[in-house]
Chain A
Amino acid sequence: AQSVSQHNHHVILSEAASLELGCNYSYGGTVNLFWYVQYPGQHLQLLLKYFSGDPLVKGIKGFEAEFIKSKFSFNLRKPSVQWSDTAEYFCAVRGGGSQGNLIFGKGTKLSVKP
C-alpha cells in the first residue's frame, strides 16, 4: 500500500531562514508527487507537482522540490522564508492503479517568526 511520511511535525523558523521539509513515500512503481499548502483557516492549494522529467520542480511562491527516486523522497525547499509562509504543508503521492486518489502525509506545520 502507498504511504507518505512527513517527519517534521512542526518547524519554527525566523524570516529569511532557509526551509527544507522532508517527505518520503513508499510505493514501488511510477508515482506522481505533490506538495499542497493550507494557510490558516483556508483550503488546500497546490504548490507544485512532479510527474516525470527534471527531478527538480519549481512551484509557486519561490518553492521547489527535488524528487530523488533512490531515496523515495520529495523534499520541499525554499531559500528564504517569509512570515506569510506560515501554514501547514502536505506532501501527497498518487501511484499507479485505477483509483487515482491522493494519499496525503500528516502535514508539517511551519511557523515563521517575523
Chain B
Amino acid sequence: DTAVSQTPKYLVTQMGNDKSIKCEQNLGHDTMYWYKQDSKKFLKIMFSYNNKELIINETVPNRFSPKSPDKAHLNLHINSLELGDSAVYFCASSQSKVPSYGYTFGSGTRLTVV
C-alpha cells in the first residue's frame, strides 16, 4: 500500500488551462503539505494543512488553491496555468504540526506547461 499517493504522476497541459493534482495519505497523519521542486531541484513549501485547517500559505500566486476535504486528502488546484508553473509537485504528510519524525513524501507530479 502506498503511504502517500499522488495523481497524476505526469501532467502535460497548455497555458491557460486549469488543472488539479490529488494527494491522499493512509498513514493517519494529521498534517499535509505541498512542496514545489523547480528545475534546479530546489524544494519550497507552498501550503500546509493540519486537520483540514490551512496553517501555512507561503508566497504563492492565488491561482494555486489547496483544498482539504478531510485530513487524509490535500488536493491542489491551479488556475490559468503559466509556463513557470512547470515543476515537480510533491505532497507530504507528517504526524503533527511538529514533524519530529520527518515527512513522508509522495512520488511527485511532474507538471509540464506548454
Q: What CA separation (Å) do A101 and B56 show in the bound complex?
A: 8
Interface residues of B (CB under 8 A from A): 31, 33, 40-45, 48, 55-56, 90, 92, 94, 96-108
Q: Tell me whether B42 and A102 are in contact (CB under 8 A).
A: no
On whether the beta carbons of A104 and B43 are closer than 8 Å, the reply is: yes
User: With A102-B45, A107-B41 known to touch, is A94 a contact of B97 (CB < 8 Å)?
Assistant: no
What is the interface of chain A, defined by CB distance below 8 A to chain B? 32, 34, 36, 38, 42-46, 49, 51, 88, 90, 94, 98-104, 106-107, 109
List 8 A-B pairs, minimum CB-CB distance, nearest first.
Answer: A100-B97, A104-B43, A44-B105, A43-B105, A43-B107, A46-B102, A101-B45, A107-B41
* Inter-chain CB contacts under 8 Å: number: 62
Q: How far is it, in angstroms, between the C-alpha of A43 and the C-alpha of B81 when the chains are bound?
A: 24
**How distant is A35 from chain B, measured CB to nearest CB, in Å?**
10
Most buried by A among B42, B43, B92, B94: B43
* Docked pose: A49 CA to B105 CA in angstroms: 15
* Alpha-carbon gap, A98 to B48, bound state (A): 12
With a CB–CB cut-off of 8 A, which chain A residues contact B41?
A: 38, 88, 106-107, 109
A99 touches B107 (CB 8 A): no
Q: How far is the CA of A94 from the CA of B103 in the complex (A)?
A: 11
Instruction: Give the complex CA separation of A106 and B41 in angstroms.
Output: 7
Q: Which of A34, A38, A100: most chain B Cβ within 10 A?
A: A100
Residue pair A45, B56 in contact (C-beta under 8 Å): no
What chain B residues lie within 8 Å of A106 (beta carbons)?
40-42
- CB-CB < 8 A to A90: which residues of B? 43
Complex Cα distance, B113 from A109, in Å, reads: 26
CA–CA, A109 to B92, complex, Å?
22
Q: Judge whether A100 and B96 touch: CB under 8 Å.
A: yes
Q: A49: which of B92, B96, B102 is its contact (CB, 8 Å)?
A: B102
CA–CA, A32 and B41, complex, Å: 22
The reply to whether B102 and A101 form a contact with Cβ atoms under 8 Å apart is no
Contact between chains at A94 and B105 (CB < 8 Å)? no
Residues of chain B within 8 A (CB-CB) of A102 are 45, 99, 102-103
